[in-house]
Chains A and B, each alone.
Chain A
Amino acid sequence: MNHLLAHSLLGLCLCAPLAAQAQDKYPSRTISIVSPFPPGGTSDLTARQLAPVLERIFKQPVTVQNRPGAAGATGAQVVANATPDGYTLILHLVSISALPERDKLFGTKPAYTRDQFVGIARLTADPPMLVVHPSLPVKNLKEFVSLAKKKPGEMIFSSSGLYGASHVPYEMFLQAAGLKMRHLPTTGGAPAMTAVLGGHAISWACPPNIAAPHLQSGKVRAYAQWGAKRLEAFPDVRTFKEQGYDIEYYLWGGLFAPKDIPPQVFNTLRETVRKAVADPDFIKGMEKIRTPIAYQDADEFKAFWDKDAAKLARVIQKIGKVAK
């Protein structure tokens, strides 16, 4: 018994320096990915597909934490002010750029600013689709636009929320086509879809994975989408660009860290995420939630994000304050 104890002690002594070394190497403890939206949303589901793959590569637990609130501002604010050690990350969506713009428009203190974050990778980028209630006597985008032109300010489009991820692209379309419509903002993707299904609004910019089952059953029609090229799942739906409108917009999702993260930690994360998105488990998981992977590495993502945010800012400024 005694020498068992001695051996264990010896073992502990030998291990101690190793443990100390491991402490320095990132990651040495649980990494948490914050999802700033409620469970079940795109950000949450993507994070939950990514987490187990990262966990396998890092050999450290990776957990997903939901910090929903204020259309994604609460979670972003929490992570923006978290210790920049690489153990707190956030999986945010395109709305990360819109929220500070809204604050700017109203002159309120912003919850966070864009430059408090650094992008590790873009993971997804799905163009929304212009879905239309089937009762409308139009068969394509051209007829839809000319009908809307005949009734300026009468047709109603809905969205997931004012200045939100589906309002901005619709405004881009209205501005490009020179149309005027009434706006019915709701509180999320599901109520926006419900409004169109019930005929209370006639159209909205709908994410493909929400649209899919309703298109299939003929409850709505899709006349265009905001991407640069055709969607794999809907090869028949033409892009706006093909139909003569120079607009492009994506409902993208990316992984971010607080800005002052140490460079070597950042590089480790960047490399690991690159490996993770190519992992068969992640690919299969994303297929199931019908959100195609559209990976961009940090540098490429930064260029994309800057350009995208500038575009968004212009649209939001142009919408301006809705209430006088």
Chain B
Amino acid sequence: MVETFQNLLLGFSIALSPSILVYAFAGCIIGTLVGMMPGLGPLAGISLLLPATFGLNPIIAIVLLSGVYYGAMYGGSTTSILVRIPGEAASVMTCIDGYEMTKNGRAGPALAIAAIGSFIAGTVGVIGLMLLAPTLAEFALRFGPPEYTALLMMGLFILAYMSSGSTIKTLASAGLGLLLGMIGIDVMSGYTRFSFDVVELGDGVGIVPVAVGLFGISEILLTAGQAAAVKVQRPRLRDLIPSREEFRLSVGPIARGSLLGFMIGIIPGSAHIISSFVSYGMERRLAKDPERFGKGAIEGVAGPESANNAAASGAFVPMMALGIPTSPVTAVMIAAIMVHGISPGPLLISQQPELFWGFVASMYVGNVVLLILNLPMVGLFVNLLRIPYSYLYPCILAFCILGTYSVANSMLDVWMMLIMGGIGYILRKFHYDLAPIALGLVLAPMLELSLRQSLAMSAGDYGIFLERPIATTMFALGLLLFLLAIKPLIFKRGKDWRKDVGLEGEQG
């Protein structure tokens, strides 16, 4: 403990030196701006900035890039809440209740709670990283394909809780998402599926263009189709601060989201994406009145936003302790230190204490920077809503196209986004929920890959899921959740059973 404290002092002496502090600030600001650009997420942000860090020293490089990373995680929530456009996959859940809050005139509190939740979760994440990195990293390695499959199955069960509408329609949306996720080269056999000789489709359909299209573009189209002009919001100052009640409701979700997000973030693979989904599902499950979800429940903002920020810190655990990148973002960061001749690996923390502890300390600093940067900005952002829609929406559309194109310099992504916007518009006219499509698209390729990897490991024997304690426990938990979900279908027979099956829009 004493040693940790000394190391942390060393870290702060580095992180608080003016030259590094400036870069931490710059990183947070750039990150926030990048995150607010529709379509541009943390990965795009740090990829674009990577070459610029080659001329800096390694500590500055990593401080700058990590600032961009969690800055973008935060910035993504701003557009999700204000205009229903997710900056990246992790903010999809924030769109649902965040945007509803904006429509209810509570954009200020939603933004404030997102900032506070992100701050708390980020700090919890850094503390976890600092104290537990080596231990947790070894544990994370035990997550092989079978464990991953179990985790994703749990994610799939959560789909059932996601919608406020009819169960049948939720499952239909989820099915569409899962089908979209089937497009591309099959990693396990090499066959190309549903790509129609378009080489770019070999990688499958990207989540960013789909999410931006489904949520953002469809919203723009819906607004344009309304007979009466939409009333421009004029938020008053006292509407910016969360009420006591909103604070009270957010405490639990922030705490749970922080822990959950951190644990999921550590797991190798792109598990951090599902942290916000899982958190949303959990909060909905735990809420006394789940009907409020989807209609502007603050828990639906607080939980997922905390979870995705904690997951961002969690992802640094295997990267720093073992030198293995568990997501594309950390892969780019590893490259950023590699070009300085430092090879990240199990010995990084002991061989490069300045780098590790400087980085940890800079994350404390960065989280504070983000909070003081963003809380006063809430008023400014909310005032963006004063811009009449006839000016605001064309600008947003232009930014969506620009952002989506710049991620991979691909026109295909732009078309994908626009087509998804049209599909989203039609589906919303028929009252289908869109979030299950996004979750299905994220889960399908990951679940398929890990399931088939598990079976490749066992030569086709499903027993592998019962031989491994972590996987077995998680499957049991998932099964329990599933049984809880279908319980009303079985035990409420007394009443009209059709209602419970979901034909009447009842939800388990």
Contact = CB atoms under 8 A, between A and B. Distances in A.
Interface of A: 38-41, 44-45, 48, 64-71, 73-74, 77, 102, 105-106, 108-109, 111, 153, 156, 161-163, 182-187, 190-191, 193-195, 197-201, 209, 212-214, 216-217, 219, 285, 287-290, 321-323
Interface stretch (B227-235, B294-302, B321-329, B387-395): B321-329
B50 A39 contact: yes
Interface string B313-327: 000001000111110
Interface stretch (B97-105, B192-200, B356-364): B192-200
Contacts of B192: 106, 108
A209 B323 CA distance: 12
A272 to B, nearest CB: 21
Interface stretch (B111-119, B156-164, B330-338): B330-338
B457 A156 contact: yes
A322 B189 contact: yes
B47 A64 contact: no
Contacts, number: 158
B325 A184 contact: no
Contacts of A161: 187
B200 A184 contact: no
Contact of A40 (B318, B332, B347, B457): B332
Interface residues on B, range: 35 or more
B199 A73 contact: yes
B188 A198 contact: no
Interface string B44-64: 000100110010000000000
Nearest to B458: A182
Interface of A is mostly: mixed
Contacts of B408: 66-69
15 contacts: A38-B47, A38-B328, A38-B331, A65-B409, A67-B408, A74-B200, A106-B190, A108-B197, A190-B326, A199-B141, A201-B457, A214-B345, A219-B322, A287-B341, A288-B339
B352 to A, nearest CB: 11
Interface string B196-236: 01011011000000000000000000000000000000000
Contacts of A212: 343, 345
Contacts of B457: 156, 182, 184, 200-201
B324 A217 contact: no
B143 interface: yes
Contacts of B27: none
Contacts of B324: 190, 193-194, 197
B487 interface: no
A283 B189 CA distance: 39
Contacts of A287: 341
B499 interface: no
Task: Pick from B190, B343, B409 the residue with the most CB of A within 10 Å.
Answer: B190
Contacts of B344: 213
Given A162-B190, A289-B338, 11 more contacts: A39-B47, A40-B50, A45-B335, A65-B409, A71-B202, A77-B199, A106-B190, A161-B187, A195-B145, A217-B347, A323-B186
A39 B189 contact: no
A69 B199 contact: yes
A182 B202 contact: no
Leading 10 A-B pairs by shortest Cβ distance: A213-B345, A40-B335, A70-B202, A200-B144, A323-B189, A198-B141, A288-B341, A217-B346, A111-B199, A39-B47
Contacts of A111: 199, 202
